[in-house]
Amino acid sequence: MDSLKTKAGTWYKLYRPAKQEIAWLRDEFSLHELILAELQRPTVRPKVQRLNNHLYLVLHFPIFNDKERKTYAREIDFVVGKKDIVTVSYEPIPPLDEFFKTCAVDKSCQELYASKTTLHLLYHIIRHLYEFSLRELDHVQEKIGIIEEEIFSGKERDVVAEISVVGRDIIDFRRSLKPQGVTIESLAAEGGALFGKDLIPFLEGLQGEYQKLWGLLETHKETLDALYETNTTLLNIKQNDTMRILTIIATITFPLSLLAMLLATDTVSNPILGSAYDFWIIAGLLLLGAAVILGVFKKNKWL
C-alpha cells in the first residue's frame, strides 16, 4: 500500500489488497461491511454508492496491451471520505500509477489537484484517466488513417486483418466505457449529497469529459465501419472483374475447343484434314471464331 498526504487528505493506493490491508481499512476508517466485501474481489459492473460517511465508486478503464495488441478493461475502486481517499486496483494501471507518482514528487501538482477536498482529488484522478484514454484513441485514429490510405492505394486485401484488430480495440473500448455513463451521472448526485451541493456542478464536469471521450469513440467506430464497407465493396469489384475475365476466357475457349475437336475427328470424309495447308486453315478458323465471339462481347458491352 502506498500513501500520499495532501492538504485535502491522504490518498491510499492499494493493489490487490490482502486480508491484513482490508482489516486495516476497517479499523482505520470504519468502512461499511459491503464496501469491505467489494474490495476483496473485482466487480463486473460500475457502480456508485453512499454508505455511512464514504462514497464508494467502481469504474473500468480501457488499457491497451502492446504485446497482445488488445484492450482490457481495468477496474479501479474508489472509497472517498471527508479526509481520505482510497483507490484499489487488481491489475496494473499505468496512468493511475503515473498520476500518483507525479503528485508525490511535484508539490505544484498537489496544490493544483489536491488542495481543496478529496472529492476534487477524485475528479482530477478520473479526468487524468479519461485523458489517458483519449491519447489511446489518438493511436486508434492514426491506425484508421493508415488503413484509409492503404485501401485507396490498392491494398484492399492487405488491410483486412488490420481492420479486424482496430475494430476489436473499439469494441473493447466501448465495452469498458459504455456502462459508465449512468454511473458518472449518478456520481454528481451522490457526491453532492455527501460533500455538499456546491460540488455538484464540479462533478457534473466529469460528464462532459466522459461525453467527449464517448463521442470520439463513436466517431472512430463510424469511420472504421465506413472503411470496412468501402474495402469490402472494392474487394467485391475486383473479385467480380476476375470472375468476368475467367468467364470470358471460358466462353471463348469452349466453342473453339469444340470446333477443333470436330475438325480433328478421324472420319472417312473430312474436307480439311489431308488437304494442302490444313493446319493453317484450322488455325484461321479458330482465330476467326475467337474474333467473332470477341466482337459479340464488345457489341453487347460485356468487355
Per DSSP, the three-state class of 15 is strand
148-163 average pLDDT score: 82
Residues 10 and 50 in one domain: yes
Percent of the chain with pLDDT over 70: 84
Dmax (CA) of the chain: 114
Percent of the chain with pLDDT over 90: 6
Residues 153 and 196 in one domain: yes
Residues 54 and 129 in one domain: yes
Per DSSP, the three-state class of 297 is helix
Residue 277: predicted pLDDT? 64
- For residue range 281-301, list pLDDT tens digits in order: 666 766 777 777 777 767 766
Residue 230: predicted pLDDT? 84
Residues 170 and 293 in one domain: no
Residue 59: predicted pLDDT? 92
Residues 156 and 95 in one domain: yes
- For residue range 64-87, list pLDDT tens digits in order: 887 777 888 899 999 988 888 899
Residue 194 pLDDT > 70, yes or no?
yes
Residues 250 and 214 in one domain: no
CATH code: domain of residue 82: 3.30.460.20
Residue 263: predicted pLDDT? 62
- Considering 236, 255, 285, which residue would you say is the last residue of a domain? 236
- For residue range 28-40, list pLDDT tens digits in order: 887 788 888 888 8
Residues 254 and 162 in one domain: no
Residues 213 and 284 in one domain: no
Residue 140: predicted pLDDT? 87
Please list, residue by residue across 167-177, b when 16 or more beta carbons sit within 10 angstroms of its beta carbon and e when fewer do. Answer: bebbebbbebb
Give which of 147, 163, 140 is closest to 71, Cα–Cα: 140
Residue 267: predicted pLDDT? 57
* Dihedral angle over CA of 121, 213, 176, 166, nearest 10: -140
- Considering 236, 253, 277, which residue would you say is the last residue of a domain? 236
Residues 137 and 263 in one domain: no
Q: Please say whether the dihedral angle defined by the alpha carbons of residues 114, 116, 120 and 122, taken in this order, is positive or negative.
A: positive
Phi-psi region of 301 (alpha: psi -120 to 50; beta: other; left: phi over 0): left
Residues 164 and 288 in one domain: no
119-146 average pLDDT score: 88
pLDDT greater at residue 111 or residue 78: 78
209-218 average pLDDT score: 90
Q: How many domains does the chain have?
A: 2
- For residue range 241-292, list pLDDT tens digits in order: 777 777 777 776 766 676 666 666 665 556 666 666 666 666 676 677 777 7
Residue 106 pLDDT > 60, yes or no?
yes
Query: The domain containing residue 104 runs over which residues?
Result: 2-236
Highest mean pLDDT among 106-110, 203-207, 245-249: 203-207
Residue 77: predicted pLDDT? 92
Q: What is the mean pLDDT of the chain?
A: 81
82-98 average pLDDT score: 89
- For residue range 1-54, list pLDDT tens digits in order: 787 787 777 888 888 888 888 888 887 887 788 888 888 888 888 888 888 888
Residues 54 and 99 in one domain: yes
Residues 246 and 232 in one domain: no
